[in-house]
């Protein structure tokens, strides 16, 4: 794409906003240097990648880029002879290695849902051992840790012992020489422990003077009994410095051996950062992907220029027969904004960005976008406005093809109107003949008539409210527009006498044309108002329909509730009848019941059954749902597979997982896994998809795996758990010989991602399960 068009169409605005969304300095640099592509294949691939990245962000998955600092200078210095990385640089490298690993594992686990993103990061190499060694060796504040090596830990212990011996010795000296000291304290000068001695007592106090106070009243003296102790401490410090440097050189050497793969990882991180920034920008600007039109065709639906705070949405169609549009209308009416909006959205689309427009927008892939917009006169080159425009048009004519987009602002302006209009006609005819898509703005009446007479050209106008004498900034395709120069002049205060006189100087046909155009615009606006009113009435009717449907739904729900209430009452009657029957049976057994009482009990039972069947609602069949994920509640209907009956929850599960249910007149205690919630078919389908919607399991099964397979699966699983913020996970390894449990225990005890872990309790799997709490 030519740089002039990128400049006048303000593509730098997009680059700036895109860079601000990047989390790494590498991605921001990529954004600042972003350029549109003229390859339809590349544009299609980049658009698909942006769409996939937007889906990833909408799913709640992201990567933490903000902590990444630029380590390229440190890596560049590392390649020079004898250099090594400082602790803070190693910490920065550790952040890069960790991020690269999380990116690789995170997208690898989602490769089926996001294949293009995984393909982008597939080249990342991970360096887990180097990452862990740096984390073990360098503390977060940049100090080399004692655990970095046994020698360093020993040296620092010896240093601490030496300092304690020096302090004890100096405290004894202070206690015996209080009269000679300025203050009873221990301080340091030149890395050695000293005491402050009064200057007049200096001759009596044996030792080495390392400094004096600004006033000259105090000498900082190292007592002779501590000289050798200070020497030992200084030697230990030198030993520490050498050991620290050895550790840093060792870590740096390992990094140097993998320098090129690490640089490749940085490039992949920059690439992914930019792609995710494109997705973020699309969400913030409410963008949509532009369809790739098969022909040379533009369709913009509710398009907006991102630099405007409250833009008037633009609807435009051009191509497939009519490839040139001449836009007319008043000054400050929005003609130039139309050109810039179309041009900028074309550039954004070909840079892999979604465009700030509505669904259904379509853009082709242009080989280039040419724009002559604004007054580009140059004093230095002695170019007038006309010369500047003409120079740019000559360049466009020398390069534009049938796959180009050409945007010309005030084509032919800057010279005598007749010549300017004639020149504009010739230029538009030439570009139209080549098949380029052309948008041009003009005030020339002759050019409007010329365009109207050409089959491949069309007029368009910026709408103007003649009553309010102000532009509406809406583009209307198919009709020419008036300039309304005299009306605007009158509104701005030009005396009516002068406006009338100016109108008298106009050509009669021009006045008639302006009046006709104004009349057409008025009629068109009235028709649009009537259409909007009809649409409003249609929406009201639709709202009424929805309202009545909701009321009907509520009535049906109330009817269902009444039926259920009747069923419960019938159930109570049936219970009473059963009780009467049971009493009759008891009397029979004791030989105390008469034939009349037995007959009466049977009659009561039969009547109750008839009333129950008559009152029972014709409800939708219930189906049991085998799901332990569902929460139970008191009063909920459940299914008992062991009895194949329906029951009601009376008491919720206790700590042991047991609950009480009532089936008819029988109350029983059952385990949680012995009941299944009841649901309608729609609910059952929703529950069946419950597990599919969850993207991450709360436990990892390692049963049947070899030790190396189990460790690899555990490492990937913990990476994913940390990324999505899981607080606790379960690792199922089984009991068996205990070998797999031992492997898991050793891995968790060394893993920096694990805060604590324990074996499962009696209701969690006991020795066959390890529960890990993550940081």
Q: Which of 690, 713, 731 is the last residue of a domain?
A: 690
Residue 337's domain comprises 291-505
325 with 460: CB under 8 angstroms? yes
At residue 576, the pLDDT reads 60
Asked if residue 354 lies in contact with residue 363, where contact means CB atoms within 8 angstroms, the answer is no
- Which H or E element spans position 669? strand 666-671
Binned at pLDDT 50, 70 and 90, residue 689 comes out as: very low
Same-domain status, 64 and 164: no
Q: Are residues 610 and 634 in the same domain?
A: no
| 741, 608: one domain | no
Q: Give SS3 for 774.
A: strand
Least confident among 44-58, 201-215, 348-362: 201-215
Whether residue 583 sits in one domain with residue 465:
no
658 or 136, which is more confident: 136
At 481, is the pLDDT very low, low, confident or very high (cuts 50, 70, 90)? Answer: low
Alpha-helix residue ranges (DSSP H) falling in 376-441: 385-399, 417-434
Residue 685: its pLDDT value, please? 47
554 and 663 part of one domain: no
pLDDT digits (tens, 9 = 90+) for 49-77: 999 999 999 999 888 888 888 999 999 88
> Region 650-664: what's the mean pLDDT?
84
Whether residues 361 and 273 share a domain: the answer is: no
Do 496 and 403 sit in the same domain of this protein? yes
Distance between start and end Cα atoms, the chain? 49
Residue 579 lies in a domain: yes
Q: What is the mean pLDDT of residues 344-364?
A: 96
Task: Dump pLDDT digits (tens) for 18-28.
Answer: 999 999 999 99
Q: What is the pLDDT of residues 691-745, one digit of tens each?
A: 343 456 778 888 878 888 888 888 888 877 776 777 888 898 888 788 888 888 9
Tell me: pLDDT of 621 over 50.
Answer: no
Last residue within a domain, chosen from 593, 615, 637: 615
- Tell me, yes or no, whether 214 lies in a domain: yes
Collect all residues with Cβ–Cβ distance below 8 Å to 95 and sequence separation of at least 6: 67, 68, 69
428 contacts 326 by C-beta, under 8 angstroms:
yes
Burial class from Cβ neighbours inside 10 Å (0-12, 13-18, 19+) for residue 581 reads middle
pLDDT confidence tier of residue 585, bands split at 50, 70 and 90: very low
Mean pLDDT within 210-238: 93
Of the two residues 707 and 47, the one the predictor is more confident about is 47
> Has residue 526 been placed in a domain?
no
| DSSP calls for 163-227 | HHHHHHHHHHHHHH-GGGBSSS--EEETTEEEEEEEGGGGGGS-EEEEEE-TTSSEEEEEEGGGH
How remote is the C-alpha of 164 from its chain's centroid?
A: 55
Where residue 12 sits, what CATH number does that domain have?
Answer: 1.10.1420
What pLDDT does residue 379 have? 35
Range 197-201 average pLDDT: 91
Q: Mean of the per-residue pLDDT values for the chain?
A: 83
Give the position of tokens 């380590």.
71
Q: Is 319 helix (H, G, I), strand (E, B) or coil?
A: strand
The answer on 474 and 352 residing in a single domain is yes
Helix axes 227-257, 259-284, angle to 10 degrees: 70
Closest Cα partner for 18 from 312, 322, 270? 270
* pLDDT tens digits, 364-385: 999 999 999 875 544 334 346 6
CATH number at residue 205: 1.10.1420.10
Residue 689 CB-density burial (10 A; 0-12 exposed, 13-18 middle, 19+ buried) = exposed
Angle, helices 150-176 vs 227-257, to 10°: value is: 160
Task: Let me know whether 455 and 538 are in one domain.
Answer: no
CA distances from 121 to 185, 528, 763 (A): 61, 52, 42
Evaluate whether residue 138 is within a structural domain: no
Res 290 pLDDT > 50: yes
Least trusted range by pLDDT, from 100-109, 278-287, 709-718, 757-766: 757-766
Let me know whether 278 and 298 are in one domain: no
Give the total number of structural domains in the chain. 6
Q: Which residue has the higher pLDDT, 773 or 464?
A: 773
C-alpha 732: how far from chain center: 33
Mark which of 585, 615, 645 sits at the end of a domain.
615
Note whether 332 and 465 are same-domain residues: yes
pLDDT of residue 687 exceeding 60, the answer is no
pLDDT value, residue 693: 39
520 belongs to a structural domain = no
CATH code of residue 667? 2.30.30.140
Q: Are residues 323 and 429 in the same domain?
A: yes
Residue that is written with structure tokens 């106090």 in the block = 205
Give me the pLDDT at residue 570, please. 62
Nearest Cα neighbor of 27 from 43, 15, 13 is 15
- The CATH number linked to 765 is 3.30.1370.110
Residues ≥6 apart with Cβ < 8 Å to 283: 54, 57, 58
Q: How far is CA 8 from CA 4, 332, 347, in A?
A: 6, 18, 12
DSSP state of 311: P
- Can you give the pTM of this predicted structure? 0.62
Cα–chain-centroid distance for residue 81? 42
Stretch 176-188: mean pLDDT? 88
The pLDDT confidence band at residue 402, using thresholds 50, 70 and 90, is very high
Residue 665: predicted pLDDT: 65
**CB of 673 within 8 A of CB of 628?**
yes
Residue at 193 is within a domain: yes
Q: Does the structure show a pLDDT above 60 at 673?
A: yes
Round to whole Å and give the CA distance between 202 and 196.
Answer: 10
When pLDDT is cut at 50, 70 and 90, the band that residue 593 belongs to is very low
Residues 6 or more apart from 613 whose CB is under 8 A from it? none
- Which two structure tokens, joined as six digits, stand for 435? 């098949």
In the β-sheet with 404-408, what is the strand arrangement from edge to edge? Answer: 368-372, 404-408, 437-441, 324-328, 457-465, 470-477
pLDDT digits (tens, 9 = 90+) for 261-283: 999 999 999 999 999 999 999 99
Counting beta carbons within 10 angstroms of the beta carbon of residue 223, is it exposed (0 to 12), middle (13 to 18) or buried (19 or more)? buried
* Higher per-residue confidence, 547 vs 356: 356
**Partners of 699 in beta bridges:** 730
CA torsion sign, 586 to 592 to 597 to 598?
positive
């Amino acid at each position: 794409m030519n740089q002039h068009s990128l400049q006048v169409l303000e593509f730098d605005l997009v680059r700036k906003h895109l860079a601000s969304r990047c989390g790494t300095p590498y991605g921001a640099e990529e954004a600042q240097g972003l350029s549109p592509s003229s390859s339809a294949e590349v544009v299609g691939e980049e658009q698909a990648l942006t769409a996939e990245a937007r889906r990833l962000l909408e799913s709640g998955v992201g990567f933490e880029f903000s902590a990444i600092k630029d380590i390229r200078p440190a890596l560049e210095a590392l390649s020079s002879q004898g250099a090594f990385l400082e602790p803070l640089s190693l910490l920065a490298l550790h952040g890069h290695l960790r991020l690269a690993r999380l990116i690789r594992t995170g997208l690898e686990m989602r490769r089926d849902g996001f294949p293009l993103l995984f393909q982008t990061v597939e080249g990342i190499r991970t360096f887990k051992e180097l990452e862990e060694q740096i984390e073990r060796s360098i503390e977060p504040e940049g100090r080399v840790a004692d655990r970095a090596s046994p020698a360093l830990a020993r040296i620092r212990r010896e240093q601490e012992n030496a300092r304690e011996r020096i302090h004890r010795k100096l405290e004894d000296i202070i206690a015996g020489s209080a009269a000679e000291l300025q203050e009873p304290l221990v301080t340091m000068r030149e890395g050695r422990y000293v005491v402050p001695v009064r200057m007049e007592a200096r001759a009596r106090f044996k030792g080495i003077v390392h400094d004096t106070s600004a006033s000259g009243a105090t000498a900082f003296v190292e007592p002779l009994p501590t000289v050798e102790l200070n020497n030992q401490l200084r030697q230990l410090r030198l030993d520490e410095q050498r050991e620290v440097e050895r550790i840093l050189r060792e870590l740096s050497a390992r990094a140097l051996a993998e320098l090129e793969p690490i640089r490749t990882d940085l490039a992949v991180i920059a690439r992914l950062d930019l792609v995710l920034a494109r997705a973020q920008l699309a969400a913030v600007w409410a963008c949509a992907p532009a369809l790739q039109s098969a022909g040379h065709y533009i369709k913009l639906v509710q398009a907006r220029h991102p630099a405007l705070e409250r833009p008037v949405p633009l609807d435009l169609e051009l191509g497939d027969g009519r490839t040139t549009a001449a836009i007319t209308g008043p000054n400050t009416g929005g003609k130039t904004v139309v050109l810039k909006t179309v041009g900028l959205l074309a550039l954004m689309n070909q840079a892999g960005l979604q465009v700030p427009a509505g669904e259904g927008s379509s853009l082709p892939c242009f080989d280039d976008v040419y724009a002559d917009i604004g007054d580009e006169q140059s004093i230095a080159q002695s170019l007038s406005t006309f010369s500047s425009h003409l120079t740019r048009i000559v360049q466009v004519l020398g390069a534009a093809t049938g796959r180009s987009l050409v945007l010309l602002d005030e084509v032919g302006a800057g010279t005598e109107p007749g010549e300017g209009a004639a020149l504009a006609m010739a230029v538009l005819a030439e570009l139209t003949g080549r098949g380029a898509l052309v948008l041009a703005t003009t005030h020339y009446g002759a050019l409007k008539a010329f365009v109207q007479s050409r089959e491949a050209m069309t007029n368009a106008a910026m709408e103007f409210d003649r009553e309010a004498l102000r532009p509406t900034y809406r583009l209307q395709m198919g009709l020419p527009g008036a300039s309304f120069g005299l009306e605007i002049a009158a509104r701005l205060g030009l005396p009516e006498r002068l406006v009338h006189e100016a109108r008298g100087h106009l050509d009669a046909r021009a006045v008639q044309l302006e009046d006709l155009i104004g009349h057409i615009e008025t009629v068109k606006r009235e028709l649009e108002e009537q259409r909007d009113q009809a649409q409003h009435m249609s929406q009201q009717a639709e709202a009424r329909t929805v309202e009545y449907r909701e009321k009907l739904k509520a009535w049906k729900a109330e009817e269902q509730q009444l039926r259920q209430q009747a069923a419960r009452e019938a159930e109570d009657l049936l219970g009473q009848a059963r009780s009467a029957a049971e009493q009759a049976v008891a009397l029979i057994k004791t030989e105390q019941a008469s034939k009349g009482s037995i007959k009466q009990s049977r009659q009561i039972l039969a009547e109750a059954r008839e009333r129950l069947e008559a009152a029972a609602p014709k409800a939708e069949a219930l189906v049991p749902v085998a799901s332990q994920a569902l929460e139970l509640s008191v009063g909920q209907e459940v299914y008992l597979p062991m009895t194949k009956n329906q029951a009601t929850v009376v008491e919720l599960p206790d700590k042991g997982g047991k609950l009480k249910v009532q089936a008819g007149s029988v109350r029983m205690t059952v385990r949680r896994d012995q009941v299944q919630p009841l649901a309608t078919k729609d609910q059952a389908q929703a529950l069946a998809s419950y597990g599919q919607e969850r993207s991450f399991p709360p436990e990892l099964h390692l049963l049947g795996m070899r030790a190396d397979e189990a460790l690899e699966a555990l490492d990937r699983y913990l990476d994913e758990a940390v990324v999505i913020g899981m607080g606790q996970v379960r690792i199922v390894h089984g009991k068996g010989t205990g070998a797999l449990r031992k492997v898991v225990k050793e891995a968790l005890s060394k893993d920096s991602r694990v805060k604590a872990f324990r074996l499962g309790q009696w209701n969690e799997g006991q020795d066959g399960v390890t529960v890990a709490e993550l940081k």
